[in-house]
Structure 1
Amino acid sequence: MALKHSTMVLYSDALDIASHRTRIVLAEKGIAVNIIYVDSNNPPEDLLTINPYNTLPTLVDRDLVLYEAGIITEYLDERFPHPPLLPVYPVARAKCRLMIHRIEHDWLTLINIIQKGKKNEADDARKNLRGQLITIAPVFSEAPYFLSEDFTLADCCLAPMLWRLISLGVELPSQTKPIGDYMNRLFARDSFKASLSELERELRD
Structure 2
Amino acid sequence: MTDLRHLTTERLRLDVPTTDDLPELFAIYSDPRVWTHFPSLRHTTLEQTGRMLDAWTLAWRDVGLGPWVARRHGDDAVIGHVGCSPRAQWWNLGYRFAAETHGQGLATEAARPALEAAPTVREVPVVAYLLEHNHASRRVVDKLGLTLQHRGPDAGNPDPAAVRLVYADRELAADQLAGIMRE
TM-score normalised by length of structure 1 = 0.27
Answer 1 or 2: higher relative contact order, Cα 8 Å, separation at least 6: 1
Structure having the larger proportion of residues in helix: 1
Structure having the larger proportion of residues in strand: 2
Larger Rg: 1
